[in-house]
Structure 1
């Protein structure tokens, strides 16, 4: 399929941006800024309690995002109170880390624990999460290596 904006892009390069250039240092700083924005949307920006609450909510059955959200609110998890979209960001991150799997049913995306997700949940239970901090995010980051 042809790019409908190809001629427009060429014209912009020839006329508008013809005298515009950036130093390699500036390009590197822009790339660093872009990468830092991307990396800020990682598991480190979420609380361990929140991640663990999501895993626990999926322990018995697959649920769609709204069900997970409702269950979190019922358990007084307030992380997504004014920004429910962040829940989906976290669900996608956990899916990318293969901690969650997903399937579509009746036009809704359902999330379920994978074997890896069950392993993390079991590890959190064994470590006595309430008594000592469980570094779930670190385990997830290790798994991504």
Structure 2
């Protein structure tokens, strides 16, 4: 059986992706990551602090993935070090749950908080009791 992605690969060779190449080491790392963590699209696989930092970073203005990643790095959050693709997986998950919205501008995808995302962030700030509601729980409940 042939490569099921032949048509996709051929189409990508004719777009802005034509000049992108990855080392065999990087390809292997991505393959291994996909095989090891089939639950990476689940919210529970990320730290609460990371989720909050991402939402906080989008509070004032829209940012692209690189800017979000840089802010996390500045806060010494290495959740996505050498796993940059997982950040975009998380952003996509939050977008699907309508916590953030995305739009393309100048060939970059910018993310911003939705009204729902702002409410969730406000609730997590207000909660100061030891039994405070988990940010993950709020996101899961908001997406029901």
The answer to whether structure 1 residue 66 and structure 2 residue 66 are counterparts is yes
Q: What root-mean-square deviation, in Å, do the aligned CA atoms of Structure 1 and Structure 2 show? A: 2.0
The TM-score, its normalising length taken from structure 1, stands at 0.69
Q: 1:74 to 1:93 in 2, by over 3 A?
A: same
Report the CA distance between 1:46 and its aligned residue.
0.8
CA distance in 1, matches of 2:139, 2:49: 14
Aligned to 1:141: 140
Q: 1:66 to 1:132 in 2, by over 3 A?
A: farther
Q: Structure 1: 5+ residue runs without aligned partners? A: 6-35
Report the CA distance between 1:128 and its aligned residue.
3.0
CA distance in 1, matches of 2:59, 2:72: 14
Larger-gyration structure (1/2) = 1
Q: Structure 2: 5+ residue runs without aligned partners? A: 5-36
Report the CA distance between 1:144 and its aligned residue.
2.1
CA distance in 2, matches of 1:142, 1:71: 27
Whether contact under 8 Å (2:116, 2:142) holds in the other structure is: no
Aligned to 2:101: 101
Whether contact under 8 Å (2:40, 2:86) holds in the other structure is: no
CA distance in 1, matches of 2:112, 2:131: 26
